[in-house]
Amino acid sequence: MASVDDHRRRTTDLPPATTEYFAPELATIDSYLETVPPTIDTAAGDAAVGPIHTLPWFYVADLTGWRGSTLARLLAAEQGVACYELSAGAADALPALWSLIDESGDSPVVLHLDLQGDGGRIQRTLREALRRGYTHTPDGWDEPVRGEPANLHVVFTDTTPSKRLAVPLPAATTPTTGAVLSYAPRRSMLPERPDGTTMLSDPPALHDREAELEQFLLAALAGYGDDDARQQYVDTAVEILSITHSLIGKRDLLFDVSPRLALKYGSLLDRLSVGATTERLGQDVLGQVPQSPGSEDIRATLRDLLPK
């Protein structure tokens, strides 16, 4: 069986600040994984009485895309296993998926998948593979795939969640079910049958999130620029992200602040001035704010924060 290409493998050596930032989410994941048995026989159980087995599958409603991807890498780090990311649009995505399923027969592995619609071929193939107990000979393969459902940890990231979450996991009335990992502060956002739902605490209030963001960015960017430059950059970055959060948060309560861009440009503090890094961050965020009459005030506020 061919191994998965290295370019699909994600690094898991994230800074301690990242682990600390996601401590509540990781605790929720750990609690859910305690319910997953060492081995799973997908043919066992009675669908009429609800889910018999829990799967190490997680659906993360995440508008920013950063939270789901980072949680997958942190999960892999905690488990001491490899983390892979598949693009549903890649021509060789399915062979790579079967290789990962086969790898799960020997040891745990983490797969991160950014969803592109509810009916993608990756999701369909995973569900079909699960129905077969991860034992199957794909077309064109000389040897059968023999995986272990308890070892394949899958993190689905949905960057366009609907008001009622569409769950790309086995239905809650089948013998197996995965976890829907979501803030889901409105009951209408829960699945119709939330048996497999692992609830996170509601997102922190904005002023609490600002404090968390500041601590996280200062720790994650330690070593980039001097202390004064780093503090100036982080102060402005948190303000920019908070203003953007205020706009988008009114439209969707699932939104959470993503420090991805602040980390990206903060790493340039060794080479660029505070003003230059701040301008790049602000222009990038400004470019993502919809250009509509209703967003003009927020765009003007963001422009005022940029260096003159």
Residue 114, SS3 per DSSP: strand
From residue 246, how far is each of 216, 240, 252, 253 by CA, in Å? Answer: 20, 10, 10, 10
Domain for residue 71, yes or no? Answer: yes
Q: Which of 199, 223, 244 is the last residue of a domain?
A: 199
Edge-to-edge strand list for the sheet holding 176-182: 9-10, 83-86, 109-114, 152-158, 53-61, 176-182, 197-199
The pair of structure tokens assigned to 281 is 């961050």
What pLDDT is recorded for position 71? 92
Are 126 and 228 contained in the same domain? no
Could you tell me if residue 55 is inside a domain? yes
Tell which residue, 86, 87, 98, has the closest CA to residue 139.
98
Helix (H, G, I), strand (E, B) or coil at 113: strand
Look at residue 306 and tell me whether its pLDDT is greater than 50.
yes
**What count of other Cβ atoms lies within 10 Å of the Cβ of residue 180?**
27
- Do 164 and 31 belong together in one domain? yes
CB 126 within 8 A of CB 97: yes
Is 50 exceeded by the pLDDT of residue 300?
yes
Q: 68-82, 118-132, 137-151, 260-274: lowest mean pLDDT where?
A: 118-132
**Cα–Cα distance between 61 and 35 in angstroms, integer?**
22
- The answer to whether residues 137 and 94 touch, using CB atoms and an 8 Å cutoff, is no
Residues 174 and 235 in one domain: no
In the prediction, which pLDDT does 90 show?
77
Indicate whether 132 and 52 sit together in one domain: yes
Here the CATH number for the domain that contains residue 162 is: 3.40.50
pLDDT over threshold 60, residue 65 = yes
Q: Clarify whether residues 190 and 214 are in a common domain.
A: no
pLDDT attached to residue 185: 45
Which of helix, strand or coil describes residue 112?
Answer: strand
Q: How many domains does the chain have?
A: 2
Domain membership of residue 155 (yes or no) is: yes
If you average pLDDT over residues 228-244, what whole number do you get?
Answer: 89
Count of alpha carbons within 13 angstroms of residue 131, beta-carbon side: 11
Q: Mark whether 52 and 74 lie in a shared domain.
A: yes
pLDDT value of residue 45 = 62
> How far apart, in whole angstroms, are the C-alpha atoms of residue 270 and residue 224?
5
Give the model's pLDDT for residue 232: 94
Cα separation, 153 vs 55, whole angstroms? 8
User: Which has the higher per-residue pLDDT, 83 or 306?
Assistant: 83
| Residue with the larger pLDDT of the pair 100 and 259 | 100
The residue count of the chain comes to: 308
For residue 1, tell me if it sits in a domain. Answer: no
Question: Is residue 271 located within the same domain as residue 169?
Answer: no
Domain of residue 282, residue span: 206-305
In the predicted model, is pLDDT for residue 211 greater than 90? no
Lowest mean per-residue pLDDT among 34-48, 66-80, 256-270? 34-48
Which of the residue ranges 11-25, 96-110, 177-191 would you say has the lowest mean pLDDT? 177-191
Residue 32 shares a structural domain with residue 128: yes
- Kindly report the backbone phi and psi dihedral angles of residue 174, in degrees, each rounded to the nearest multiple of 5, phi listed first: -90, 165
State the pLDDT at residue 174: 65
